[in-house]
């Protein structure tokens, strides 16, 4: 049946479009034959060209792959360099910075395991590194993943003390909490117990310790959604109307791990409701999805920098910051920074809202922060590619600021009419600022981390929607390789009901 049909078609002459048969067919006149041959040769050439182009494309893709691999290697190297930098910054010469056992705990960044005071007291101050190493080596794997939440094999290959030193907030925030809780989940009012305990033990020093342990990282970003999609799972456990801000403040708790101590407060800026102020507290004690690492790393790094500054100026921080009320700033403060007036916790603020060129002065309401503790403000301008820090005396560190470094902005540092304690504060803040500057400017990895956060937040703010916001994180997750395997994160790593954070 089919054969008959084919014969019929073939006899029709030229109806068959099989190109390969045409050169051998003797149909039509000689001129048509030449045309067909020419046409066939053209098509063959075209196919060859396509093959060649495909090969060239494959070559390009291969080269791109090689470049990406090199980029990944570079990122990993940068990360290791960043770790070294943090270790270097946060663990200066012990004799010059560590003055008491508690201070040792404060400076032992990232010690995830609870270290009781007895054992800590037995250990020599100068052996802080060995403390970290021995404790971490005894710890389980999860604790090795702490800190900057980078749990690649490269990180695992690093010395244990490096891993242990990644996360200041782990050691600072959770050590005593886990002591109190016996390693279990947070007891009701754990923070209260913590604060109350530390305050009742030995007065101001412990108070300052508690303050340092409660370091917070506040992120200001333009976001239309209820919360920033930082990749983590959060559970809302409370909401309050804070004084002076009609927008309610929501309290969230990380639910990725039941024992995770991380909490965050979300509140819209009263001045500009498109600005979302998210304040993070604590460090995740579990591995994070790729999409959550950027923010976690950023906040952890920022908190580390802040705590480093606080630690290095702990003396003045205790004696000066508590006694000094930055009433000038707080009175003129045109927006409401979470906890800035009521809590003595050091807060570092990452200002990701300065996406448009603005005239930045010390009175710029996006860049003036005040609290009883020296809040440190990092203002980023994502549109700027040349990152040059502008530092002024109030601890603000304007990244990519529109204004060039202008000494007039720091002029009041040298004003002779300032009270002595204000000078102390400014000196402390200057040290803090220098520490931050050192951490950020001297290591490209820090900038990479910040850039990752910027890309995430910027994408979200630009898209004004959670789905699109997550696409940025998704692309990061899809294109980054960790632990030698590609981890595909969900397009929207939200909660099961899709409401997310």
Q: Which residues bind DNA (CB under 7 A)?
A: 186-192, 195-196, 199, 233-244, 249-251, 255, 263, 265, 338-339, 341-344, 495-499, 501
Residue with Cβ nearer DNA (79 or 234): 234
Check if the beta carbon of residue 275 is closer than 8 Å to that of residue 224.
no
Q: Tell which residue, 130, 127, 132, has the closest CA to residue 144.
A: 132
Q: How far apart are CA 35 and CA 42, in angstroms?
A: 10
Element of type H or E holding 80: helix 30-90
Q: How far is the CB of 191 from DNA (least distance, A)?
A: 4
Q: Which is nearer to DNA, 114 or 261 (CB)?
A: 261
In whole angstroms, what separates CA 293 from the centre of its chain?
A: 6
192 vs 487 by CB, closer to DNA: 192
Q: Give the shortest CB-343-to-DNA separation in angstroms.
A: 5
Judged by beta carbon, residue 242 or residue 402, the one nearer DNA is 242
Instruction: Give the shortest CB-62-to-DNA separation in angstroms.
Output: 43
300 φ/ψ sector (left φ>0, alpha ψ -120 to 50, else beta): alpha
Cβ 66 to DNA shortest distance, Å: 41
Of 251 and 423, nearer to DNA (C-beta) is 251
User: Alpha-carbon distance 62 to 474, whole Å?
Assistant: 23
Q: How far is CA 92 from CA 53, 209, 308, in A?
A: 57, 19, 10
Is residue 234 a contact partner of residue 264, using CB atoms and an 8 Å limit? yes
- Between 74 and 192, name the residue whose CB sits nearer to DNA: 192
CA angle 328, 437, 292 (to 5 degrees): 95
Least distance CB 486 / DNA (angstroms): 26
Q: Alpha-carbon distance 105 to 115, whole Å?
A: 9
Spatial contact of 310 and 212, defined as CB atoms under 8 Å apart: yes
In this complex, which beta carbon is closest to DNA, that of residue 125 or of residue 236?
A: 236
Q: Both tokens of residue 159?
A: 């010395």
What's the min distance (Å) between Cβ of 330 and DNA?
12
CB of 255 to DNA, least distance (A): 5
User: Is the separation of the CB atoms in 457 and 229 below 8 Å?
Assistant: no
Tokens coding 145: 């993943």
């Amino acid at each position: 049946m089919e054969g008959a049909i084919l014969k019929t078609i073939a006899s029709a002459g030229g109806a068959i479009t099989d190109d390969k048969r045409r050169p051998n067919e003797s149909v039509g006149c000689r001129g048509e034959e030449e045309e067909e041959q020419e046409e066939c040769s053209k098509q063959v050439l075209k196919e060859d060209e396509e093959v060649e182009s495909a090969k060239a494309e494959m070559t390009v893709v291969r080269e791109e792959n090689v470049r990406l691999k090199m980029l990944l290697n570079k990122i990993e190297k940068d990360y290791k360099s960043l770790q070294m930098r943090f270790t270097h910054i946060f663990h200066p010469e012990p004799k010059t910075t560590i003055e008491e056992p508690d201070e040792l705990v404060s400076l032992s960044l990232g010690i995830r395991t609870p270290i009781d005071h007895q054992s800590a007291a037995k250990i020599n101050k100068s052996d802080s590194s060995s403390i970290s190493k021995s404790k971490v080596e005894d710890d389980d794997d999860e604790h090795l993943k702490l800190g900057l939440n980078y749990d690649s094999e490269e990180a695992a290959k690093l010395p244990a003390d490096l891993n242990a030193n990644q996360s200041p907030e782990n050691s600072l925030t959770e050590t005593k909490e886990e002591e109190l809780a016996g390693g279990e989940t947070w007891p009701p009012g754990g923070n209260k117990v913590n604060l109350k305990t530390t305050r009742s033990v030995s007065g101001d020093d412990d108070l300052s310790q508690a303050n340092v342990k409660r370091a917070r990282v506040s992120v200001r970003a333009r976001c239309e959604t209820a919360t920033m999609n930082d990749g983590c799972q959060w559970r809302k456990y409370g909401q309050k109307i804070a004084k002076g801000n009609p927008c309610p403040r929501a309290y969230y708790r990380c639910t990725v791990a039941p024992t995770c101590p991380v909490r965050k407060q979300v509140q819209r800026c009263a001045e500009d409701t498109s600005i979302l102020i998210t304040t993070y507290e604590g460090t995740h004690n579990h591995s994070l999805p790729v999409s959550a690492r950027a923010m976690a790393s950023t906040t952890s790094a920022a908190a580390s920098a802040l705590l480093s500054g606080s630690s290095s100026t702990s003396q003045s921080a205790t004696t000066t910051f508590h006694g000094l009320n930055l009433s000038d700033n707080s009175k003129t403060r045109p927006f409401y920074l979470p906890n800035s007036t009521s809590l003595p916790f050091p807060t570092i603020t990452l200002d990701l809202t300065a996406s448009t060129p603005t005239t930045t002065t010390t009175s710029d309401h996006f860049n003036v922060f005040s609290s009883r503790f020296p809040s440190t403000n990092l203002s980023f301008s994502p549109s700027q590619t040349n990152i040059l820090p502008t530092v002024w005396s109030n601890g603000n560190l304007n990244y990519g600021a529109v204004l060039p470094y202008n000494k007039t902005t720091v002029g009041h540092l040298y004003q002779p009419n300032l009270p002595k304690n204000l000078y102390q504060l400014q000196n402390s803040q200057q040290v803090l600022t220098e520490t931050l500057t050192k951490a950020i400017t001297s290591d490209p990895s820090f900038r990479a981390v910040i850039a990752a956060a910027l890309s995430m937040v910027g994408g979200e703010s630009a898209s004004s929607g959670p789905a699109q916001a997550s696409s940025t994180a998704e692309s990061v997750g899809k294109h980054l390789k960790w632990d030698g395997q590609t981890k595909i994160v969900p397009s929207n790593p939200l909660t099961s009901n899709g409401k997310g954070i």
